[in-house]
Amino acid sequence: MSTRDTPEQIGDLPKIGRPATSALLAIGVTTLEQVAAMGEAALLALHGVGPKAVRILRVALEQQGRRLGV
């Protein structure tokens, strides 16, 4: 699937860009709860997920009183 075929936003995830969204979809992650279980290093290891996407996800989690796993 090309990133053009990836929805701009999935589940309750914030808009993080199609490459990052595609990377999360590829491993079955579609919710902030699933992201919260991951660590920053695991997210950054995904092709298409960069520091900006991680920062957006971290802010979205903090707004819900959660944080990234270790």
> 14-70: per-residue pLDDT in tens?
999 999 999 999 999 999 999 999 999 999 999 999 999 999 999 999 999 999 987
Its domain, for residue 59, covers: 3-63
Question: Is 18 among the domain residues?
Answer: yes
pLDDT for 2:
59
Question: Is 69 among the domain residues?
Answer: no
Count of the separate structural domains present in the chain:
1
Question: Is 31 among the domain residues?
Answer: yes
pLDDT for 68:
92
Question: Is 50 among the domain residues?
Answer: yes
Question: Is 70 among the domain residues?
Answer: no
Q: What is the pTM of this model?
A: 0.88
CA 62 to chain centre: 14
pLDDT for 8:
75
Q: What CATH code is carried by the domain that includes residue 16?
A: 1.10.150
